[in-house]
Structure 1
Amino acid sequence: MGRDFRRLFAGTAISALGSEISELALPLLAILTFQATAEQVGLLRAAQFLPFLLLTLYAGVLVDRVRRRPLMVAADLGRFVVIGAVPLLGWAGMGMEPLYLLVFLAGAGTVVHQLADQAYLPTLVSRDQLLPANGRIAAAQSGAELSGQGIGGLLVAWLTAPFAVAVDALTYLVSAIAVAGIRTPEPRPVRRDGTRLRQEVFEGIRYLAGSRLLRPLVGEAATYNIAYQVFSIALLLWLARDLRLSPVVIGVVLSLAAVGALGGALAGAKISARYGFGPTMLVTMAIGNSAPLLLFAAPDRGAGVAVLVGAVFLVIGFGTALANVHNRSLRQSAVPDEIQGRVTAAYRLVSWGTLPLGSLAGGYLAASLGAYEALLAGAVGLAAATLWVAVSPIPRLREAPAHV
C-alpha cells in the first residue's frame, strides 16, 4: 500500500477524530447550553441522520458519475464551513432551530463523503488488499474514537461544548488537505448515455435486493441502527442527567469502545485467515451486538456504573469493529466498481435511513419510560440484529467472493 493510501488513511483518521468529538459535543451542547429536552435531543440526532434517508440514492449516482477524490474534498470543505458555524449559535444564545438546520447540512456532506470514500478505496488498492486496507482504516477510526470522545469530554468540561465543536470543524479542513494530496490517477467514470437519473438511482437497489449475501447485511445494519440510536440517546441521558456523571467521565467511559475496536480492527485479517471469513464475521458480530445486555446488571449508583459501562463498550468496540471490517470488505469485493456508489447508496439508504426513526424513538422512549428502561430496550434490539446474518449463507463463507 503506497503513499496515496496513507494520505487517504490520514484523511479518514482526522475526519473520524473530529466526528467523535462532535458525537459527544453536539448532544452535550444541546443538553448543557440549550437546556434541550429528551425529545429535542432525539430531534437533533434525527436532523443529523435525515440526509441518509433523503439524499443517499442521488448521492450514489453522483459518486458514480464524477471522480471521487474531488467530491470528497468538496464534502470536507462544506462540513468545515457548516460545523464551524455551529459554535456561533451557542455563543450568540440562539435557540435549537438553527442548530437542526446546520446539523442537517453537515449530515448531507457526510452522506456524499462516506459514499465516495468507500467507492474510492478500490482505486488505490487491489481487491486482495481490501481486507487489510479496511482493517487499517478501521484501526485509524478506532484510534480516533479512542482519543476523540475523551478529548471531547475534556473540551466540553474545560472550554465549553461550542469550543469542542469548533475543533471538530477544523478536522474537516485538515482532512480535505490530506485527500487533495492524493496523486494516483482516478479512472474516468463510465458514461451512461441515454440512461435516466431515475434508472441509475434504482439500479443500486435492484442489485442489493438481488444479492443473497448483501440482503442480510443490510437487514442487520438497519435493525442495529434503529436499536443503537435508542440505546445511545437513552444512555447519554441516563449518565449525564440521572446519574450526573461529568462530561470527562462520560467521554472516557465511552472512548473505551475504541480500545476494543483498535484491537479488533488490527487482528481482523489474521483471525479471518485462521477461522474463515463468514464464521469470524458472525461470531464477532454476535459478541459486539450482545454486549449491551450486560447493562441489565447495572447498579443504581456509584463507580460501579462507570466501570460496567466501560466494560460493555470495550466489548462492543472489539466485536463490532472486526465484524464491520468484514462487512465493508465483502461489499467492496462483491460489487462491480462501476456501480459501487449506487449499491453503497442503496445499502446506506436502508441501513442509515433508519437512523432518524431510531433517534425519534430514543427520545420518545426515554421521555415516556425513563432513560434506563429505554436503553435496556435498545440493548435487546441490538442483540436481535445478529439473527439476520446467523440465518444467511454468510457464516459458510471461507473468503469474500467476487461479484455475487
Structure 2
Amino acid sequence: MTAAPLGPFGALWASQAFSNLADGLLQASAPLLVATLTQDPLVVAGLTVAQFLPWLVVTLPAGALADRVDRRRILVAGNWLRAGGFALLALSLTAEWSHVGLLYAAVFLAGCAETMVDNAALAIPPRLLPRARLERANGRLFATQSVINTFIGPPAGAALFALAASAAFYTGAAAFALAGLAALLLPALRPAAEDDQHGPAAEDDQYDPAAEDDQHGPAAPTGFVRDISVGWAHFWRHALLRRVAFLSAAINFFGASTGGLLVLLVTGPYGLPASSYGWFVAVPAAGAIIGSLLAARVVPRIGGGATGWLAALTPAAGYAVLGLSHSTPLALAAMFAAAVASSLNQIVVSTLRQAAVPDELLGRVTAAYRLIVLGAVPFGALTGGLLGRALGIRAAFLTAALGLALAAVPLASRVTTRALRDAEKAPRAALPVHTGTPSRAEQGRISGGSGDHGRRGPRTKHS
C-alpha cells in the first residue's frame, strides 16, 4: 500500500487532523448537550470526569499494547470505534432519546479508545523520522491540533449543535471514520523487535531506534503485566520525567477544575448565548498555534525551565481574570496567553520524551507518564464541580488560580533548562525487559542519561 504524498509522516498528520476535527466538534457539542439537560455544576463537571476516567483505567494497558501491536492497527481500530460510538449517540438524539447517562457512556467509551490511539500516535514519530526532525514534526502536529481541535472544530460544533443536536455528533463520527482511513496509509509499525527481522518501516533516512540498543540483545518474551511493570519502572526511575509529570499533573488538575465549568460561566455570569461558547474554546487556539510554530525558536532562547514556569503561572493568572472580570475580550485575551505558554511547554515535553526513551519502551513510558498527567483530570473536574456547587462558579476559578500559583513554586522550581538539555542529548538507554532489578550502571542511565539530575535540578513537562 502506498503512503500519503508527504510520506509516512503525512499519513500520520492526516489521521491526526481528522481525529482532532472530530474532537473539536465534540469539545463544544458535548458540554452544550449536557448543559441543556442540567444546570447542576457537579453533573456538568461529571462530563469531564467521564471523558478522562479512562486515563486512570486503561492507560497502562494501552501503553503496553502500543509496544506489542502494530501501532497503525491501533490508530485504525480506535478511530473507527469512536466513529461507531458517536454515530449511535447521534441516532439516539435523532430519535429524541437523550439522557446524561447516555452521554457519559459515549464519552467514556470514546475516552477508552482515545487512550489507545493517543499512546500509539505519540510513539510513532520516532519510527518515521530521524531525531533531528522530531521537534519540527511535533510542532506541525501540535499546530494542526491547535488549529483544528480548538479553532475550527468548536465553533463548527457549536454552530451544528444550534441547527440540530445530532448534527455535530454525526459529523464527528464521520471525521473519526476518515481518521481511521488515513491511518491505513501508514506503513506497518510492528514492535521494534519484529522490525529487526522485517526491516525498516519508513524512509531511507529514518532514525532506527532499535539500532542504538543492539548491545542489550533481543528482549526475552514477557507477559502483559510484566511489560506494564517494566514501562512503569523505566518512567519512575527517570527522575526528570517523574518530576515533569507531577508539574504537568498540577497544571491539568486545576485546568480541569475550571474547564468543566466554563460552559456555565459563559452562559451564566457572562450572560452570553450558547452559540458563543465555541469561541471561548477557539480563541485560545490562536495562542496555541503561535506557540507550536514558534517553539523551535522561542524555547532555545528562554529555556525549557522558564517555559515550565510560564505554563503554570500564565494559566493561574488567566483563571483569576476569568473569575473576577466581566469583560469577554479580557477573558479571551487571558485564555490566549495561557494557550501560548501551554503550547510551548507541550512541545518541550513531547520532544524530550521521544528523545530520551527508547522506541521499544516509548508506548509504555508514555502511558505511565500520561497516567499521572491525565489521571489528575477527573479528580480536578470533580473538585471543580464540588466547589462550583458549594461556592459558585466564579469562586471555583479563583480557587484554581490560587492553587496553581502555590503548586508552581515547589514543582516548577525543580525543573531546569540544563537538565532538560542533558536528557535530550543523552543516549536513549533502555531497561532490559528480561531482567528484574537494573544494575547501578543501568539505574544511572535511566535516571536521566548523564549523571544524577537530582543534584543539578530537574526539567519540565506538560501533557
TM-score (norm 1): 0.91
Which amino acid in structure 2 is aligned with residue 218 of structure 1? Answer: A
| Rounded Cα–Cα distance in structure 1 between residues aligned with 2:14 and 2:405 | 33
Report how far residue 290 of structure 1 moved: 3.8
| Rounded Cα–Cα distance in structure 2 between residues aligned with 1:96 and 1:61 | 33
Report how far residue 244 of structure 1 moved: 3.2
| Rounded Cα–Cα distance in structure 2 between residues aligned with 1:38 and 1:81 | 29
2:241 maps to 214
| Rounded Cα–Cα distance in structure 1 between residues aligned with 2:388 and 2:302 | 41
Alignment of 1:154 onto 2:159: yes
Report how far residue 89 of structure 1 moved: 3.1
Could you list the per-position Cα deviations for residues 239-273 of structure 1 after superposition, in whole angstroms to 9, with x for gaps in the alignment? Answer: 12343311222212331110011111001111234
Report how far residue 284 of structure 1 moved: 5.2
User: Is contact 1:279–1:397 with CA below 8 Å preserved after alignment?
Assistant: no
Within the candidate set 64, 67, 85, 1:64 is matched to 67
Alignment of 1:45 onto 2:14: no
Change (3 A) 1:295 1:260: same
Equivalent residues in 2 for 1:270-289 (5 A)?
270-283=297-310, 286-289=313-316
| Rounded Cα–Cα distance in structure 1 between residues aligned with 2:410 and 2:343 | 18
1:232 maps to 259
Alignment of 1:316 onto 2:338: yes
**Which secondary structure state, in structure 2, belongs to the residue aligned with residue 351 of structure 1?**
helix
The two structures, once aligned, show a CA RMSD in angstroms of 2.1
| Rounded Cα–Cα distance in structure 2 between residues aligned with 1:175 and 1:388 | 41
Equivalent residues in 2 for 1:42-121 (5 A)?
42-91=45-94, 92-121=96-125
Alignment of 1:401 onto 2:425: yes
User: Is contact 2:68–2:190 with CA below 8 Å preserved after alignment?
Assistant: no
| Rounded Cα–Cα distance in structure 1 between residues aligned with 2:301 and 2:318 | 24
1:370 maps to 392
User: Is contact 2:323–2:397 with CA below 8 Å preserved after alignment?
Assistant: no
2:353 maps to 331
Larger radius of gyration: 2
Within the candidate set 171, 174, 177, 1:170 is matched to 174
1:16 maps to 20
Which amino acid in structure 2 is aligned with residue 44 of structure 1? Answer: L
Could you list the per-position Cα deviations for residues 166-205 of structure 1 after superposition, in whole angstroms to 9, with x for gaps in the alignment? Answer: 211111111111111123x535443754423222112222
User: Is contact 1:271–1:280 with CA below 8 Å preserved after alignment?
Assistant: no
| Rounded Cα–Cα distance in structure 2 between residues aligned with 1:279 and 1:363 | 31
Could you list the per-position Cα deviations for residues 61-97 of structure 1 after superposition, in whole angstroms to 9, with x for gaps in the alignment? Answer: 1110111111111100001001111223333323222
Alignment of 1:390 onto 2:412: yes
**Which secondary structure state, in structure 2, belongs to the residue aligned with residue 65 of structure 1?**
coil
273-282 or 352-361: which moved more?
273-282
Which amino acid in structure 1 is aligned with residue 153 of structure 2? Answer: G
User: Is contact 1:20–1:148 with CA below 8 Å preserved after alignment?
Assistant: yes
Alignment of 1:293 onto 2:320: yes
Q: Where do 5+ consecutive residues of structure 1 fail to align?
A: none
| Rounded Cα–Cα distance in structure 1 between residues aligned with 2:344 and 2:312 | 8
| Rounded Cα–Cα distance in structure 2 between residues aligned with 1:295 and 1:55 | 34
Change (3 A) 1:340 1:387: farther
Which amino acid in structure 1 is aligned with residue 378 of structure 2? Answer: P
**Which secondary structure state, in structure 1, belongs to the residue aligned with residue 193 of structure 2?**
coil
Report how far residue 388 of structure 1 moved: 5.5
Could you list the per-position Cα deviations for residues 348-393 of structure 1 after superposition, in whole angstroms to 9, with x for gaps in the alignment? Answer: 1111112221222122111111111112212333434544553224
**Which secondary structure state, in structure 1, belongs to the residue aligned with residue 124 of structure 2?**
helix
Change (3 A) 1:151 1:319: same
Which amino acid in structure 1 is aligned with residue 152 of structure 2? Answer: S
User: Is contact 2:67–2:191 with CA below 8 Å preserved after alignment?
Assistant: no
Change (3 A) 1:390 1:43: closer
- The structure with the largest helix share of the pair is 1
Alignment of 1:205 onto 2:232: yes
Report how far residue 109 of structure 1 moved: 0.4
Change (3 A) 1:387 1:17: farther
| Rounded Cα–Cα distance in structure 1 between residues aligned with 2:243 and 2:151 | 30
> Structure 1 vs Structure 2: percent identity of aligned residues?
31
Could you list the per-position Cα deviations for residues 9-49 of structure 1 after superposition, in whole angstroms to 9, with x for gaps in the alignment? Answer: 121122112112211110111111x2353222222221111
Which amino acid in structure 2 is aligned with residue 214 of structure 1? Answer: L
Change (3 A) 1:96 1:268: same
Alignment of 1:4 onto 2:22: no
User: Is contact 1:66–1:189 with CA below 8 Å preserved after alignment?
Assistant: no
Alignment of 1:130 onto 2:157: no
Aligned length: 396
Which amino acid in structure 1 is aligned with residue 416 of structure 2? Answer: I
User: Is contact 1:25–1:152 with CA below 8 Å preserved after alignment?
Assistant: yes
1:351 maps to 373
Report how far residue 398 of structure 1 moved: 6.9
Change (3 A) 1:319 1:208: same
2:442 maps to none
Change (3 A) 1:173 1:310: same
TM-score (norm 2): 0.80
